[in-house]
């Protein structure tokens, strides 16, 4: 088993290994005395893993209850959040009890937000079951729901007590859901790890997923420890997201987060190259790596639609939006773009297909 220590406002371990779902009870009880455990999961994950996790928790002395919501981004809203909060109250969960978020990024983001606000904060554990959640969303404490106006517009920074990633759980992922996590993995490569990028473009990363996950979460850990509340360096982790989130929302979430980020990555690389920020050939290299991993690189939405959606980005301050631009593989920089220039930036990104 691999272990990565995070030292943010809360200290916690990220445990990565095969078969860890059966160890949930043992690992949680090392950190939190047996109490009530509310498992929160989606319909698909419930059918796959709930029984194993519930049994492991019960064996370790936890009293388990479970809330299940329909799978998919369409559930990541105030309605489901409200149902979760009512469920916690109906089950008389107190601040000594714990939430177990079992699933992908949707489960993790929403359970984390519920944990942050229920009784002003109760403990929670992340058990990522998608590759995306393993490499990215289960770590770092960004929790959120979507609003009608856009992605992740309500949320909190709230760190888990433990992240427990069973790589065997990833074996049941459909190819395209696995690819969502590859988009975020490539993102880490472009932000700061040329070697990782090469492993993804050559598909070598598949040979040791535990190592790949450890590399990604270690990079995220280091960045989040320096800027937990997203005021500076952490914004680098948003590479590809300003346009990606816009596309995801425009598609009414029929395009997944990872697929939208893939398109966003490609577009911003083309814009960076056209603006002379990125070295020549960068967009092409990113494009090839995405395609090789079964990810999309373009969209039919219009420049106006994409630019408009980007105005809701949380890196906007007044009349400017901070964009993350790649300079070369392994190096990015953040630059403020006036909102009246965003249309031009998207035009340039869409042109050079």
Give whichever of 34 and 150 is closer to ligand LNCXM5UN, judged by the CB atom. 150
Residue 234 interface partner, choices ligand NAD, ligand LNCXM5UN, none, CB cut-off 5-8 Å depending on type: ligand LNCXM5UN
Residue 283, SS3 per DSSP: helix
Query: Would you say 161 is a known binding-site residue?
Result: no
Please pick, from the candidates 184, 201, 214, 228, the single residue that binds ligand LNCXM5UN as defined by CB under 6 A.
184
Q: Which residue has the tokens 């105005």?
A: 311
Report which of 259, 221, 222 is spatially closest to residue 241, judged by C-alpha positions. Answer: 259
CB of 220 to ligand LNCXM5UN, least distance (A): 7
Query: Would you say 108 is a known binding-site residue?
Result: yes
- Structure-token pair, residue 41: 């999961």
* Inter-residue contact 146 to 75 (CB < 8 Å): no
- Write the CA distances from 4 to 69, 125, 228, 352, integer angstroms: 30, 15, 17, 41
Part in contact with ligand LNCXM5UN (CB under 6 A); list of ranges 1-9, 51-59, 170-178, 235-243 = 235-243
CB of 276 to ligand LNCXM5UN, least distance (A): 26
Shortest-Cβ-distance residue relative to ligand LNCXM5UN: 152
Please pick, from the candidates 199, 241, 249, 270, the single residue that binds ligand LNCXM5UN as defined by CB under 6 A.
241
Distance of CA 131 to the CA centre of its chain: 10
Report which of 175, 205, 198, 178 is spatially closest to residue 285, judged by C-alpha positions. Answer: 198
CB of 184 to ligand NAD, least distance (A): 6
Residues lying near ligand NAD in the complex (CB under 6 A) are found at: 42, 44-45, 48, 71-73, 76, 103-107, 109, 129-130, 132-133, 136-137, 140, 142, 152, 169-170, 172-173, 177, 180, 256-258
- Structure-token pair, residue 23: 């160890």
Q: Is the dihedral angle over the CA atoms 271, 274, 275, 279 positive or is it negative? A: positive
CB of 270 to ligand LNCXM5UN, least distance (A): 20
- Structure-token pair, residue 198: 């090469």
Please pick, from the candidates 36, 44, 76, 142, the single residue that binds ligand LNCXM5UN as defined by CB under 6 A.
142
Contacts of 156 (CB under 8 A, 6+ apart): 112, 113, 116, 117, 143, 144
Q: Which residues bind ligand LNCXM5UN (CB under 6 A)?
A: 136, 140, 142, 144, 151-152, 184, 230, 234, 237-238, 241, 314
């Amino acid at each position: 088993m691999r272990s990565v220590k995070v030292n943010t406002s809360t200290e916690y371990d990220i445990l990565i290994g095969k078969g860890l779902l059966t160890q949930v009870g043992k690992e949680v009880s090392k950190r939190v005395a047996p109490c009530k455990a509310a498992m929160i999961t989606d319909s698909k994950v419930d059918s796959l893993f709930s029984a194993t996790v519930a049994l492991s928790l019960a064996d370790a002395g936890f009293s388990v209850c479970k809330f299940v919501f329909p799978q998919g981004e369409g559930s990541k809203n105030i309605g489901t959040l409200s149902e979760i909060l009512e469920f916690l109250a109906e089950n008389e969960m107190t601040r000594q009890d714990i939430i177990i978020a079992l699933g992908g990024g949707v489960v993790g983001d929403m359970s984390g937000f519920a944990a942050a606000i229920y009784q002003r904060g109760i403990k929670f554990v992340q058990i990522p079951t998608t590759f995306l959640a393993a490499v990215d969303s289960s770590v770092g404490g960004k929790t959120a729901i979507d609003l009608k106006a856009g992605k992740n517009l309500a949320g909190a920074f709230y760190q888990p007590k433990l992240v427990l990633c069973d790589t065997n759980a990833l074996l049941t992922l459909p190819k395209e859901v696995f690819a969502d996590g590859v988009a975020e993995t490539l993102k880490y490569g472009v932000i700061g790890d040329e070697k990782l990028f090469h492993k993804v473009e050559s598909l070598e990363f598949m040979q040791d997923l535990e190592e790949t996950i450890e590399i990604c979460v270690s990079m995220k850990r280091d960045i989040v420890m320096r800027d937990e509340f997203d005021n500076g360096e952490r914004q680098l982790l948003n590479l590809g997201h300003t346009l990606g989130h816009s596309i995801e929302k425009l598609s009414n979430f029929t395009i997944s987060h990872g697929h939208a980020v893939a398109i966003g990555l490609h577009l911003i690389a083309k814009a960076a190259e056209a603006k002379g920020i990125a070295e020549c050939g960068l967009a092409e290299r990113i494009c090839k790596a995405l395609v090789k991993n079964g990810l999309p690189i373009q969209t039919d939405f219009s420049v106006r639609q994409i630019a408009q959606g980007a105005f809701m980005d949380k890196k906007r301050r007044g009349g400017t939006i901070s964009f993350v631009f790649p300079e070369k593989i392994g190096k990015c920089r953040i630059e403020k773009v006036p909102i009246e220039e965003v249309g031009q930036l998207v035009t340039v990104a869409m042109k050079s297909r």
